[in-house]
Homo-oligomer: A and B are copies of this chain.
Amino acid sequence: MTGGATGADTRTKLMEGALRTLAEHGIAKTSARSVAASAGVNQALVFYHFGSVDELLAAACRYGAEQRVARHRDRLAGVTTLAELLRCGRELHEEERAGGHVAFLAQVLAGAQTQPRLAPATTAGLDLWTAEIEKVLVRIVADSPLGEFTDPAGLARAVTGAFVGLEMYEGVDPEGAERAFEALEQLAALAGVLDELGPVARRAVRHRLRRTEKVQGGA
């Protein structure tokens, strides 16, 4: 009962096993043996297919981000306001959490802080999300003061980073995170009001911002 090519895509099984293990037991308990067990596969195959555990994690990180982004792209395409974006993000997150896929990106992100080999894959995974969010932001913010006075690409990065942080926050303090999201929704509704400012008000905003920049020393 040893050996033999089973034909099924072992690489994929391993990456999905890595995502499962990462989400369920954290990066500290994610080893070649634990991942292989979760994938129903021999642990030596980790090294045959990926060379090292780090490489497996990096590949799994990209793979997982692609899967999640692809699955939710359609829903994001329907978002037209900041408040909707926020609500959509929460729904996606709760869905993933219910499905057992909680915050694998957060786990590799934590690992990448001190393990530079993981950083490129983590960045790549985050960038997939950032790109989707940026598309939405550009659309939302096109004819709003928000678009005129802020950089949507930078804002998209901020949203991605903040979401990861809030996702982790929710893991340790669900009630606190609930309040945080509610406050953010109120804030988004408030931002929506800005869109209704007329041209006169906008000129005032522009003037005021220029004054602020002078005081703070430009840029």
**A residues at B contact (CB < 8 Å):** 23-29, 83, 102-103, 106-107, 109-115, 119, 122-123, 126-127, 130, 145-146, 149-155, 157-158, 160-169, 171-173, 176-177, 179-184, 186-187, 189-190, 192-194, 196, 201, 204-205, 208-209, 212-213, 216
Determine whether the beta carbon of B196 is less than 8 Å from that of A112.
Answer: no
Min Cβ gap A176→B in Å is: 5
Determine whether the beta carbon of A172 is less than 8 Å from that of B26.
Answer: no
Please give the count of copies of this chain that the complex contains: 2
Give the CA-CA distance A161 to B181 in the complex, in Å: 10
Min Cβ gap A152→B in Å is: 8
Identify the interface centre among A26, A110, A123, A204: most chain B CB within 10 Å of its CB: A110
Are A183 and B165 also in contact (CB < 8 A) when A150-B190, A190-B194 are?
Answer: no
Determine whether the beta carbon of B184 is less than 8 Å from that of A158.
Answer: yes
Determine whether the beta carbon of B145 is less than 8 Å from that of A190.
Answer: yes
**Closest residue on chain B to residue A27 by CB atoms:** B28
Are A193 and B208 also in contact (CB < 8 A) when A28-B28, A123-B176 are?
Answer: yes
Determine whether the beta carbon of B157 is less than 8 Å from that of A179.
Answer: yes
Min Cβ gap A56→B in Å is: 15
Q: Which residues of B contact A83 (CB under 8 A)?
A: 212, 216
Determine whether the beta carbon of B161 is less than 8 Å from that of A165.
Answer: yes
Give the CA-CA distance A139 to B14 in the complex, in Å: 52
Are A151 and B182 also in contact (CB < 8 A) when A161-B162, A162-B165, A176-B157 are?
Answer: yes
Q: Which residues of B contact A181 (CB under 8 A)?
A: 154, 158
Are A26 and B110 also in contact (CB < 8 A) when A154-B179, A179-B153 are?
Answer: yes
Determine whether the beta carbon of B112 is less than 8 Å from that of A150.
Answer: no
Are A183 and B164 also in contact (CB < 8 A) when A107-B110, A110-B26, A126-B169 are?
Answer: no
Determine whether the beta carbon of A114 is less than 8 Å from that of B26.
Answer: yes
Determine whether the beta carbon of B158 is less than 8 Å from that of A190.
Answer: no
Min Cβ gap A146→B in Å is: 7
Determine whether the beta carbon of A179 is less than 8 Å from that of B166.
Answer: no
Q: Which residues of B contact A103 (CB under 8 A)?
A: 113
